[in-house]
Chain A
Amino acid sequence: MTAIARMTVLHLRTAMPYRNQILLAFVAVVVIMANRPTVLVPALALLVVPSIAGYPFLAADKAGLDTLYAVLPAPRRAVLLGYYAWALAGFLVTAAVGTAFTLVYTRFESTALTGHTILLDLSLAWAMFAVNIAIQFPLLIRYGYSRISVWGTTLPIALAVMAVVRLHVSLASLQDRAALLIPMGIAVFAASAALAPVFAGHRRMRAPAGTPPAGTVAPAGR
């Protein structure tokens, strides 16, 4: 458990150089969504959190961190679950800050914001985040960032969600399904995390982008 925590912190440190990009994306979405505050948090979950989650993969590609993770005394499982834990942390922080902004916005508009709406927002955001990561991470783990890139998976999902949203015009129609969104999200997230070692096993270990690959890596250590 502590190995996973250590790895999560390490992933944070690898993403730190991108904090400006993260902040910029966050501010952009908050500004754009100013007139639709009730979908702010879901929008953040769809547009900002995946890139936050993806930065450790980008950093790993650029710097050849595969080797670092193979050298450090930490099991591969911790590396992989650390990615998921980092994504989760990113979601929780973004959702919390996003909810705060939502509250501020609705206060200005004097729109009634019920606890129920907030819960719905968060459930929807959670579900979208969970599905996004559940699909994206195995691909990132298997192929690496430069071959996938965050937009490679976020974009199709964003389009799919937008298609769904157009069909079910308002959030209200989701109310009765809200209860399902949270466990569904947990299920897909956990399943993806459980399957991650399978994808990692087929991964080709890479030196920093630009150097020729040395070959396939075995799950290093137990």
Chain B
Amino acid sequence: MSADLAFALRGVSTSLGRFALHDVSFALPTGYVMGLIGANGAGKTTTIRSLLGMYPISSGEIELLGHPVPGPVALREDVGVVLDHTFLVGDWRLTEVERALRPFYRRWDRTRYRDLLDEFGLHQRARVKELSRGMAMKLMIAVALSHHARLLVFDEPTSGLDPVARDELVGIVGDFLIDEGHSVLFSTHITSDLERIGDYVTLIHGGRIVRTGTKDEILDGYRIVRGGPDDLTDLAGIELIGARRTPAGVQALVDTEDAGLLGDRVMVEAPTLEEIAVHVGAPARHRPRSLPPTTSGSIA
């Protein structure tokens, strides 16, 4: 039985650690893939760890696959976690990995594991420490799929991967989502992976959610603005997000609602996810006094 929401965070704040979260709220309906986009240090990892119950929160509530977090330990059977580092003993061979992990999962599928290792080009006799980054990521995916996880949570899976491996990941995610009870959360600062396959996008910056909603809503909600070096000055009340001003010209992101107020001299275009991520993630000192964050999607 799948819940309506793969997960939901409501008003989550954390007070410990360097990367605190402030009033974080977003949710993912079951059956889709969400990209959690933010620069390094924006709070992605903290958010994911909180979601998985690995990190204490000081306020708010978290729901994972229909259960509140912290939840029953058995909930972890349904969640597959893929990080940018393996969390397995380096000396273990891939067959040992299965022997080590299998006893903990009720639904471990031995045939599936072997088939996946085959499909991913991983040798059963290889040791974990011998795997390249891309292969290590595929191993963690093989593990997650072998215990029939319903939710895959990736934390920076593609950083350090070559384009071929990143493309393979896109294919794996697509396959995983054939089952409408499966969902994927994908935190990254590399937006190109999500430009096409992302269903939902959440932008996070400084531990706060900047915007969350479907990818189309996010893309429709911003415009990229380019002008000459003297353009886009004296704009009362209009926030230029991540404005970059050089002798050659100025470029900024604006709310679509504000785009019409900018005049004719500047060029206004629909942005790519990458441009949104770059401008939203720009260091605070370049940003004008900020307006409150907006949410274009609905939070269940």
Contacts and interface: CB of A to CB of B under 8 A. Distances in A.
A14 B18 CA distance: 31
Interface stretch (B86-94, B186-194, B229-237, B256-264): B86-94
Contacts of B75: 73, 221
B70 A215 contact: no
B52 A63 contact: no
Given A71-B52, A71-B76, A214-B49, A10 B70 contact: no
B73 A68 contact: no
Listed residue (B19, B70, B73, B96) with the most chain A CB atoms within 10 angstroms of its CB: B73
A182 interface: no
B53 A67 contact: no
Contacts of B76: 71-73, 221
A146 to B, nearest CB: 15
A17 B54 contact: no
A14 B56 CA distance: 27
A64 B70 CA distance: 22
Interface residues of B, number: 39
Contacts of B46: 214-215
Contacts of A216: 16-17, 55-56
Interface stretch (A121-129, A135-143, A204-212): A204-212
Contacts of A220: 52-54, 70
Interface in A1-19: 6, 9-10, 13-14, 16-17
A73 B104 contact: yes
Contact of B73 (A10, A74, A214): A74
B100 interface: yes
B105 A13 contact: no
Interface in B64-95: 70-77, 79, 81, 83, 85-92
B150 to A, nearest CB: 13
Contacts of B79: 71
B295 interface: no
A157 B73 CA distance: 38
B289 interface: no
Interface residues of A, number: 34
A67 B46 CA distance: 13
B88 A221 contact: no
B124 interface: no
A59 interface: yes
Contacts of B77: 73
Chain B residues touching A, majority SS: loop
Nearest to A219: B70
A219 B73 CA distance: 11
A72 B16 contact: no
Interface of B: 14, 16-19, 45-46, 49, 52-56, 70-77, 79, 81, 83, 85-92, 96, 99-101, 103-105
Given A71-B81, A216-B17, A63 B87 contact: yes
Given A73-B76, A207-B85, A215-B17, A221 B52 contact: no
A75 to B, nearest CB: 5
A82 to B, nearest CB: 12
Given A72-B104, A73-B75, A73-B104, 10 more contacts: A13-B89, A63-B88, A63-B89, A64-B86, A64-B87, A67-B54, A73-B77, A74-B73, A215-B46, A216-B56
A166 interface: no
A17 B89 contact: yes
A6 B85 contact: no
B18 A13 contact: no
B91 A9 contact: no
Given A6-B103, A13-B99, A218 B55 contact: yes
A63 B90 contact: yes
A65 interface: yes
A72 B71 CA distance: 13
B47 to A, nearest CB: 11
Contact of A59 (B14, B16, B72, B89): B89
Contact of B104 (A6, A67, A221): A6
Nearest to B70: A221
Contacts of B99: 13
B89 A218 contact: no
Contacts of A118: none
A222 B54 contact: no
A54 to B, nearest CB: 15
Contacts of A68: 87-88
A22 interface: no
Nearest to A7: B104
A9 B101 CA distance: 10
